[in-house]
Amino acid sequence: MHPPLFLLGREYYFGPLYLRNKKPRPLQDSERVRLEEFVDSIGYSARYNDTENEYRHVQLPKAMLKAIPRDYFDPSKGTLKLLWEEEWRALGITQSLGWEHYEVHEPEPHILLFKRPLGYQPPQQ
Protein backbone atom coordinates (compact mmCIF):
# COMPACT_ATOMS: atom_id res chain seq x y z
CA MET A 1 0.00 0.00 0.00
CA HIS A 2 1.28 3.45 -0.89
CA PRO A 3 1.06 6.42 1.46
CA PRO A 4 -1.56 9.06 0.68
CA LEU A 5 -0.84 12.01 -1.58
CA PHE A 6 -1.09 15.46 0.01
CA LEU A 7 -1.49 18.76 -1.81
CA LEU A 8 0.43 21.43 0.04
CA GLY A 9 0.40 24.80 -1.66
CA ARG A 10 0.99 23.93 -5.31
CA GLU A 11 3.17 20.87 -4.72
CA TYR A 12 2.31 17.27 -3.98
CA TYR A 13 3.86 15.44 -1.04
CA PHE A 14 3.72 11.71 -0.49
CA GLY A 15 3.51 10.01 2.84
CA PRO A 16 2.94 11.29 6.32
CA LEU A 17 4.38 14.78 6.61
CA TYR A 18 5.26 14.22 10.28
CA LEU A 19 8.09 11.91 9.15
CA ARG A 20 9.97 14.89 7.69
CA ASN A 21 11.74 17.75 9.35
CA LYS A 22 9.18 20.54 9.79
CA LYS A 23 11.06 22.54 7.18
CA PRO A 24 14.10 21.74 5.04
CA ARG A 25 17.28 21.77 7.09
CA PRO A 26 20.12 23.16 4.95
CA LEU A 27 23.55 21.60 5.25
CA GLN A 28 26.35 23.58 6.80
CA ASP A 29 29.48 24.02 4.69
CA SER A 30 31.46 21.57 6.84
CA GLU A 31 28.71 18.93 6.43
CA ARG A 32 28.63 19.43 2.67
CA VAL A 33 32.41 18.94 2.47
CA ARG A 34 32.14 15.62 4.41
CA LEU A 35 29.51 14.35 1.93
CA GLU A 36 31.29 15.36 -1.30
CA GLU A 37 33.49 12.26 -1.38
CA PHE A 38 30.41 10.02 -1.72
CA VAL A 39 28.50 11.83 -4.49
CA ASP A 40 30.08 9.94 -7.40
CA SER A 41 29.17 6.62 -5.75
CA ILE A 42 25.42 7.28 -5.47
CA GLY A 43 23.51 4.71 -7.54
CA TYR A 44 20.26 5.30 -9.42
CA SER A 45 17.81 2.61 -10.51
CA ALA A 46 16.00 2.60 -13.81
CA ARG A 47 12.52 4.09 -13.61
CA TYR A 48 9.56 1.76 -13.24
CA ASN A 49 5.86 2.53 -12.95
CA ASP A 50 2.33 1.47 -12.12
CA THR A 51 -0.85 3.07 -13.47
CA GLU A 52 -0.48 6.23 -11.37
CA ASN A 53 3.19 6.89 -10.59
CA GLU A 54 6.70 6.32 -11.78
CA TYR A 55 9.26 5.18 -9.26
CA ARG A 56 12.97 4.83 -8.79
CA HIS A 57 15.26 4.06 -5.94
CA VAL A 58 18.52 5.74 -5.06
CA GLN A 59 21.27 3.79 -3.35
CA LEU A 60 23.59 5.78 -1.13
CA PRO A 61 27.00 4.36 -0.27
CA LYS A 62 26.60 2.75 3.16
CA ALA A 63 29.51 4.75 4.57
CA MET A 64 27.73 7.95 3.52
CA LEU A 65 25.05 7.37 6.18
CA LYS A 66 27.67 8.06 8.86
CA ALA A 67 28.44 11.46 7.31
CA ILE A 68 24.81 12.62 7.07
CA PRO A 69 23.76 14.94 9.93
CA ARG A 70 21.95 13.17 12.79
CA ASP A 71 18.88 15.40 12.56
CA TYR A 72 18.17 13.92 9.11
CA PHE A 73 17.45 10.62 10.92
CA ASP A 74 14.38 9.30 12.71
CA PRO A 75 15.74 8.55 16.21
CA SER A 76 13.08 5.89 16.86
CA LYS A 77 14.12 3.81 13.83
CA GLY A 78 17.68 4.90 13.11
CA THR A 79 16.78 5.41 9.43
CA LEU A 80 16.67 8.61 7.44
CA LYS A 81 13.54 10.71 7.75
CA LEU A 82 11.68 11.52 4.57
CA LEU A 83 13.77 14.25 3.00
CA TRP A 84 12.60 17.48 1.44
CA GLU A 85 13.86 18.03 -2.10
CA GLU A 86 16.27 20.69 -0.85
CA GLU A 87 17.73 18.15 1.60
CA TRP A 88 18.20 15.22 -0.79
CA ARG A 89 19.68 17.49 -3.45
CA ALA A 90 22.11 18.87 -0.84
CA LEU A 91 23.25 15.28 -0.16
CA GLY A 92 24.28 15.06 -3.81
CA ILE A 93 21.28 13.19 -5.25
CA THR A 94 20.55 14.50 -8.75
CA GLN A 95 17.26 13.83 -10.51
CA SER A 96 14.90 15.72 -12.78
CA LEU A 97 12.08 17.76 -11.24
CA GLY A 98 9.02 16.31 -9.54
CA TRP A 99 10.54 13.43 -7.57
CA GLU A 100 9.38 13.01 -3.99
CA HIS A 101 11.21 10.96 -1.37
CA TYR A 102 8.37 8.86 0.02
CA GLU A 103 9.98 5.95 1.85
CA VAL A 104 13.20 4.48 3.19
CA HIS A 105 13.67 0.76 2.63
CA GLU A 106 14.13 -0.13 6.32
CA PRO A 107 15.99 -3.43 5.84
CA GLU A 108 18.51 -1.46 3.74
CA PRO A 109 18.40 2.12 5.08
CA HIS A 110 20.87 3.36 2.46
CA ILE A 111 18.16 2.85 -0.21
CA LEU A 112 15.78 5.79 -0.65
CA LEU A 113 12.53 5.34 -2.58
CA PHE A 114 11.23 8.11 -4.82
CA LYS A 115 8.09 8.58 -6.87
CA ARG A 116 6.27 11.17 -8.90
CA PRO A 117 2.97 11.23 -10.79
CA LEU A 118 3.11 9.43 -14.12
CA GLY A 119 3.52 11.96 -16.93
CA TYR A 120 4.70 14.68 -14.53
CA GLN A 121 5.33 18.01 -16.23
CA PRO A 122 7.19 20.73 -14.33
CA PRO A 123 5.26 23.99 -13.85
CA GLN A 124 5.72 26.52 -16.63
CA GLN A 125 7.72 29.55 -15.55
Q: What is the CATH number of the domain that holds 37?
A: 3.30.170.10
1 located within any domain: no
Q: Give pLDDT, residue 119.
A: 94
Instruction: Indicate the number of domains in the chain.
Output: 1
C-alpha distances out from residue 95 to 22, 42, 57, 100, Å: 23, 12, 11, 10
Q: Is 84 within a domain? A: yes
In a domain, 41, yes or no: yes
Q: Considering the domain boundaries, does residue 40 fall inside one?
A: yes
Q: Is the pLDDT of residue 73 over 80?
A: yes
Give a yes or no: residue 69 inside a domain. Answer: yes
Q: Is residue 117, in this structure, part of any structural domain at all?
A: no
Q: Is residue 6 part of a domain?
A: no
Asked if residue 79 lies in contact with residue 104, where contact means CB atoms within 8 angstroms, the answer is yes
Residue-number span of the structural domain to which 66 is assigned: 31-91
- The model's confidence at residue 31, banded by pLDDT at 50, 70 and 90, is very high
